[in-house]
Amino acid sequence: MNQTKTATRVQKSKKPNTLNRDNLEADIIAKAEQAFAEFGYEGTSIATIAESVALSKQNLLYYFPTKQILYKRVLDDVMQAWLGSMTKLATENLSPQDALTSYIKAKLQFSREHPWGSRVYGMEVITGAQFYRNEIKEKVIPVLRQDILIFEKWIAEGKIAAIDPTHLLFTIWAMTQSYADFSTQMCLVLNRKKLSTKDFDAAEKLIVDMVLATISIANQR
Amino acid sequence: MNQTKTATRVQKSKKPNTLNRDNLEADIIAKAEQAFAEFGYEGTSIATIAESVALSKQNLLYYFPTKQILYKRVLDDVMQAWLGSMTKLATENLSPQDALTSYIKAKLQFSREHPWGSRVYGMEVITGAQFYRNEIKEKVIPVLRQDILIFEKWIAEGKIAAIDPTHLLFTIWAMTQSYADFSTQMCLVLNRKKLSTKDFDAAEKLIVDMVLATISIANQR
DNA sequence: GTCTATAGCCCGATAGAC
DNA sequence: GTCTATCGGGCTATAGAC
């Protein structure tokens, strides 16, 4: 008890430790992520971000020396979280059906749990990836190409229909991504403020159905 | 001959006429559309747009009194072009298969022919439709709701499988829209500068295949 | 690490002559 | 309709005291 109190006092006098700084940086990044998603890069001022974490803008610039560096960190974190959440299509000995089902689940769950980050990434791509192009080239594209190779392997093995593997991946990406990027429009159609668990469940069921129906050999034209 | 020359001289001295002004405004809107798509609303300065149509920024403000008014006109034109290009799902006595095929074709063609406009609209939605929300509510949402009703009618008549009509529309929108919004990423995967006719043909074939396989009653889970 | 102060720039928009 | 000139404000970033 006393020890705890002392420890607290010591921590207090010793100024913020590493953990506190990490937490603060994580907080800044989270708030920046939301701001960039809502107003775009140029539409967001570092003063606004600083205010949302109760810092002065000069103080924010102590932690992130420039706005671009902060923006890059936001995108880095989004990409890392995305790469971490996506299971490889081919890691285990799953059937194409099971592998694709869990792939779609994971990607859709990411849209649900990281809507701001998904949108920041989406806006970066829409505007031509002028800032983050190299990182996308080096870290995202190879993963997508790998996934396409899996599709081709499955086709060669006769496990799925001979659909266009590249565009199949594009459509899966598009459908799952849109549940973050276009949720505003979806909410207007559905007349609700936020997409619910039920909406995501319905989306998952349909997207899985669509993809499985597409790769089903019986359905080939 | 002489008459033509005279007419030309007269036009020159009489200063720009209505037609010229219309053409100039259309030019401004086209350049603004591209700029907003590439840099976002806040990332685009009216000086940049003015320069691209060889006007001073003060002169541009003579034609469009504020930046917001110009932005709205860009979105108005995009929406009008989109509404004009989309055939109603139920206008003629088409089968669900034929109606959906031409629907997908039209939407995809719009992504191809109006990539900048599609992206401006996409960014507006991603950022929460903070500016254009009312117009989307009044002009886009009713159309989407109508389309969903058609799906429901087809289901009730047993013409298509009992899939979730709302989310089917969302996925069609997502897939077709992404060929404008995410073309940068697609080009990086495909290792080319621009999506080609072949790419759009492959996309169209796959998306049509996916949707037709999905609504096929034989495939129902 | 946090503060005050400010440099230096770009922006949207306006005023008024021609 | 087009020009010059400019206002007023917001922005990123830096300098330097504490």
pLDDT at B129 over 50: yes
Closest CA to C11 C1' — which residue?
B45
Q: Which amino acid would we find at residue A174?
A: A
CB-CB contact of B123 with B44 (8 Å): no
- Please tell me the predicted confidence (pLDDT) of residue A45: 98
Nearest CA in chain B to A200: B167
Mean pLDDT of B161-171: 98
Distance from the B142 Cα atom to the nearest Cα atom in chain A, whole angstroms? 8
Q: Which of A56-60, B15-19, B158-162 has the lowest mean pLDDT?
A: B15-19
Interchain proximity A206–B167, CB inside 8 Å:
yes
CA distances from B76 to A18, A53, B46, B53, B69 (A): 51, 37, 18, 20, 10
pLDDT at A17 over 60: no
- Please tell me the predicted confidence (pLDDT) of residue A15: 52
Mean pLDDT of B112-130: 98
Distance A36 CA to D6 C1' (A): 33
Structure tokens at A174: 């598009």
pLDDT at A2 over 90: no
- Please tell me the predicted confidence (pLDDT) of residue B8: 47
- Please tell me the predicted confidence (pLDDT) of residue B221: 53
Number of other CB atoms surrounding residue B51 within 10 Å: 15
Which member of B137, B148, B170 has the closest CB to residue A178?
B170
**pTM tops 0.85:** yes
- Please tell me the predicted confidence (pLDDT) of residue B11: 44
Please enumerate in sequence order all residues whose Cβ is within 8 A of that of A167, keeping only pairs 6 or more positions apart, or say none: B199, B202, B203, B206, B207
| pLDDT band per the 50, 70, 90 thresholds, residue A87 | confident
CA distances from A66 to A60, A63, A73 (A): 9, 9, 11
Query: Is pLDDT larger for residue B181 or for residue A6?
Result: B181
- Please tell me the predicted confidence (pLDDT) of residue B29: 98
Distance A17 CA to D18 C1' (A): 21
Mean pLDDT of B117-123: 98
pLDDT digits (tens, 9 = 90+) for A133-188: 999 999 999 999 999 999 999 999 999 999 999 999 999 999 999 999 999 999 99
- Please tell me the predicted confidence (pLDDT) of residue B220: 56
Structure tokens at B95: 């089968």
pLDDT at A59 over 80: yes
The set of strand D positions with any atom below 7 Å of a protein CB reads: 1-5, 10-16
The set of strand C positions with any atom below 7 Å of a protein CB reads: 1-5, 10-16
CA distances from B164 to A151, A189, A202, A206 (A): 27, 14, 7, 7
- Residues whose beta carbon sits under 7 Å from strand C: A 15-16, 21, 55-56, 58-59, 62; B 44-48, 57-58, 61, 65-68
Distance A19 CA to D3 C1' (A): 60
A211 touches chain B (CB under 8 A): yes
B217 touches chain A (CB under 8 A): no
pLDDT digits (tens, 9 = 90+) for A109-126: 999 999 999 999 999 999
pLDDT digits (tens, 9 = 90+) for B44-97: 999 999 999 999 999 999 999 999 999 999 999 999 999 999 988 887 789 999
Scanning B66-125 for CB atoms below 8 A from A yields 119, 122-123, 125
Residue whose entry in the numeric block shows the structure tokens 């619910």: A196
Mean predicted lDDT score pLDDT of chain B: 92
A119: left (phi over 0), alpha (psi -120 to 50) or beta: alpha
Nearest nt by C1' to A15 Cα: C1
- Please tell me the predicted confidence (pLDDT) of residue B17: 54
Distance B184 CA to C8 C1' (A): 35
Q: Which of A88-92, B138-142, B190-194 has the lowest mean pLDDT?
A: A88-92
pLDDT at A10 over 70: no
Distance A58 CA to D14 C1' (A): 10
| pLDDT band per the 50, 70, 90 thresholds, residue A107 | very high
| pLDDT band per the 50, 70, 90 thresholds, residue B217 | confident
Residues of B in contact with A78 (CB under 8 A): none
Which member of B177, B182, B206 has the closest CB to residue A168?
B206
Which member of A136, A170, A189 has the closest CB to residue B166?
A189
Mean predicted lDDT score pLDDT of chain A: 92
Rounded to an integer, what distance in angstroms lies between the CA atom of residue A193 and that of residue A198? 14
Mean pLDDT of A82-92: 88
- Please tell me the predicted confidence (pLDDT) of residue A14: 47
Interchain proximity B43–A43, CB inside 8 Å:
yes
- Please tell me the predicted confidence (pLDDT) of residue A90: 82
